[in-house]
A and B are shown apart, each in its own frame.
Chain A
Amino acid sequence: MAALTEEQTLIRDQARAWVTEQSPVRKFRQMRDEKAPLSFHADDWQAMIDMGWTGILVPEKYGGSELGYLTLGIVLEETGRQLTASPLLASAGIGAAALLVAGSDEQKQRILPGVVDGSNVVTLAVEEGPRHDPRQLSLAAMSRDDGLSLVGEKTMVHEAMAATHFVVAVRTSGHAGDENGMTLVLVDAESEGLTLSPLSTVDSRGYASLSFSDVKVSEEQILGSVNSAYVHLEQILDRARAATAAEMMGTAAQAFDMTLEYLKTRVQFGQVIGSFQALGHRAADLFTEMELTRSCMEGALQAIDAGREDVPELCSLSKTRTGEFIHHMSNELIQIHGGIGMTDEFDAGLYLKRARPLEAAWGNQAFHRDRYARLLGF
């Protein structure tokens, strides 16, 4: 754990106490079994708002506390531990980041106070195909009298059913594959011509596909300038990657703790299984990997807070390493628990099923290895 300030330590302790007492993984399971329409508990979400978590990225003049990305990461790590479902990451993390990176003062003033008090839920709509590849986006935005008209599809939009607004990356010129010609627009969820179809995914979280058929967007809804949104989009995605990595760290760390506990209690051949060296060494490997991964995850968040130039490299490093770790850890979680790990009644499966969507979000390990190499010039 990075050397935390007193305030950060306080927030972490509060978050840890709250998730373990008020929103343990049992509550996530209950939500899944009840097939809750928004895929989270409204009371959990309200509690997060009341604790001020939705304002962590937002400057004071828009109603937040502007404590920064590392602080948000500290909270997300704790919610990741118990798989606590909510739009915290999607809206107060990524949605807020999108406005802060690309929005005008007027747009921030209009939207961000609502993100902080929970009346607005803003979420990013980028993906169009099975693999993350922002340069390939093709959702068409045609010029009309006083704005744009959108036609096309987005998919895997996080927390879409709860959203009041979408930040949508659209193509205003050029072709799929071009970096030029992209524009970011803020679309009201109630817009005419916009249809949401919820997706039923392996992690039981809230995602939907969006279908745009002539959705009208006025000039005030355009974030930044027309045709040159790619730079902003990359910055927003890097913030999404770094924050998602923090949640992944928490989920994987909890999987590690569950595994270690089992190694110390399950007895076979007259001894606890953790006394078998084959398993002890695997635990040692996982622990080493976890410590190395944590440094990358925290380093990326700290770099964003400090406005450093190596943010893109560090975010790809963080997303790759947390992806590799949660992949390995979630598989070992099942294997080391043996048969019990395969049962739905036991929690291990919930962690495995959450791991893969988190790995895929905003670019998987392969995507970010390729990007890292390109950023380093090979």
Chain B
Amino acid sequence: MAEDLTSFRTQVQAWLSEHFPSSLKSNAAGIMEAAFSENGLSADAEQWRQSLADAGYGAPTWPKEYGGAGLSDSQAAVLSGEMANVGAFNPIPGLAGMGVTMVGPTVLEYGSEDQKLRHLPGIASGTVRWCLGLSEPNAGSDLASLTTKAQDDGDTWIVNGQKIWTSGADRSQWCGALVRTDASAKKRDGISFLMLKMDQPGVRTRPIKLIGGASPFCETFFDDARAEKDDLLGPLNNGWSVVKRLLQHERQSQTGAGAPSGSGSAALSIQDLAKKYVGTTESGELADADLRSRLTSHLMATKAHAMTGSRIREEARGKVEVSAAASILKNSATIVAQVRSELTIEMMGNQGLGWEGDDFTPEELATVRGWLSGKAISIYGGSFEVQKNIISKNILGLPETTQKG
């Protein structure tokens, strides 16, 4: 086992030195910004994307026949470690929207062979972007009350209804949508998971602007939109179990506490940033004792979160199961990330209140925007409160409240 990894590591190092363009070094943010602008990926970035796709390293643990590299989890860890060492970054998960993290793993589990061959390679190469049409105006946390419906028209499904908060809908080629296929069944029993093309007359998107200023998501309207008959994922009327699994994948992808906003090789640790803005006493302690104590608690929470992630991985012997633990980690990652943002703007003082312009550094502005957009973490992927429901019911075995709607 250990031997395997050593030779694999050497192989990855050689591959990286051959294929990774040094112009892209430590520039993840730049690459993704360009990708979503008018210009698209730079020539070097496009070449790098293609190299990753050819090697199957965009979604490295997926089987080779579907565009992955068939790596084990520990090999994939070596790959990402080596990439980090040379300042390389895998843009494919970002380019594929919800494809790599959520749709792909679910297709791998529930899809037919034909569906896997048709959908996965486009995701793994970062050339087909996916969005997810789950939430509706009246179906948020209570997703099963959705009303968008799909009717069987012989050759195709005809879809009518409205979705909301569809991330990246205006920039995606495909959508994984949750639709009602049996109106007479009980709430959860008449739902199916349908995959459909976004570029068709029956689909319209309207971007929604968020408090942070960006418009990452849309209202999505289906008016007699069409989906192929063989693009139903999983059995008819069994969409609820498909989406439950998909949401576990989503939660799993949100259990890391994320990189500090404005991170890059030059970014200061949050304690150094605090010293810079707040100053220190003669003995080198942060001048604001109250902030110092709260910052310490935050750093401890960050460390505890990281150690819990490793402990759970270790207990699972290298294989992270999509499990109950994900709900704990999602909420703790949320707290870590949101508290970090709050502390950062607090320590920046007036400089942490800017919206735009030259009076503020790019890092200060990014911190403010990040603080605002980060409020979403406790809302999507199952809200903070919904995660607590899951923990109390599924892990602790407490009965569901009778007061719930």
Contacts and interface: CB of A to CB of B under 8 A. Distances in A.
Nearest to B304: A292
B154 interface: no
B11 to A, nearest CB: 29
A3 B315 contact: yes
B271 A378 contact: yes
B274 interface: yes
B265 interface: no
B296 A291 contact: no
A279 B208 CA distance: 36
Given A280-B401, A283-B396, A288 B331 contact: yes
Q: For chain B, what secondary structure do more than half of its interface residues adopt (helix, strand, loop), or is it mixed?
A: helix
A317 B304 contact: yes
B334 to A, nearest CB: 11
A378 B293 contact: no
Interface string A276-299: 110011011101100111111011
Nearest to A281: B388
* Majority SS at the chain A contact face: helix
A373 B317 CA distance: 33
Given A378-B280, A378-B285, A288 B300 contact: no
B403 A277 contact: yes
A288 B295 contact: no
Given A260-B396, A271-B399, A299-B307, 20 more contacts: A264-B399, A272-B399, A274-B392, A281-B385, A281-B389, A284-B387, A284-B395, A285-B388, A287-B328, A287-B391, A287-B395, A291-B308, A296-B304, A299-B311, A320-B300, A369-B296, A369-B300, A373-B286, A373-B295, A378-B280
B404 interface: yes
Interface in A138-186: none
Contact of A280 (B304, B331, B398): B398
A275 B400 contact: yes
Chain A, interface size category, equals 35 or more
Nearest to B384: A281
A280 B274 contact: no
A321 interface: yes
5 contacts: A281-B385, A292-B308, A369-B293, A372-B300, A377-B284
A372 B296 contact: yes
Contact of A283 (B308, B311, B398): B398
Given A372-B296, A373-B296, A378-B284, A284 B304 contact: no
A296 B389 CA distance: 25
Contact of A369 (B297, B328, B389, B395): B297
A370 B307 CA distance: 21
Contacts of B308: 291-292, 294-295
Contacts of A271: 399, 402
A1 B315 contact: yes
Contacts of A276: 401, 403
A1 B315 CA distance: 8
Contact of A292 (B305, B385, B389, B403): B305
Nearest to A260: B396
B303 A296 contact: yes
Nearest to B275: A378
Interface string B324-353: 010010011000000000000000000000
B393 interface: yes
A374 B402 contact: no
B304 to A, nearest CB: 4
Contact of A296 (B297, B307, B400): B307
B292 interface: yes
A321 B304 contact: yes
B143 interface: no
Contacts of A284: 387-389, 391-392, 395-396
A115 interface: no
B286 A378 contact: yes
Nearest to A300: B307
B295 to A, nearest CB: 7
Contacts of B295: 373, 378
Contacts of B275: 378
Given A2-B315, A378-B271, A287 B399 contact: no
B293 to A, nearest CB: 6
A85 interface: no
Contact of B328 (A2, A272, A280, A291): A291
Contacts of A369: 293, 296-297, 300
A105 B147 CA distance: 78
A2 B398 contact: no
Interface in B266-315: 271-272, 274-275, 280, 284-286, 292-293, 295-297, 299-301, 303-305, 307-308, 310-311, 314-315
B397 interface: yes
A263 interface: yes
Residue of B280, B391, B397 with most partner-chain A CB within 10 A: B391
Contacts of A372: 296, 299-300
A166 B154 CA distance: 88
A287 B390 CA distance: 12
Contacts of B286: 373, 378
Interface in B177-211: none
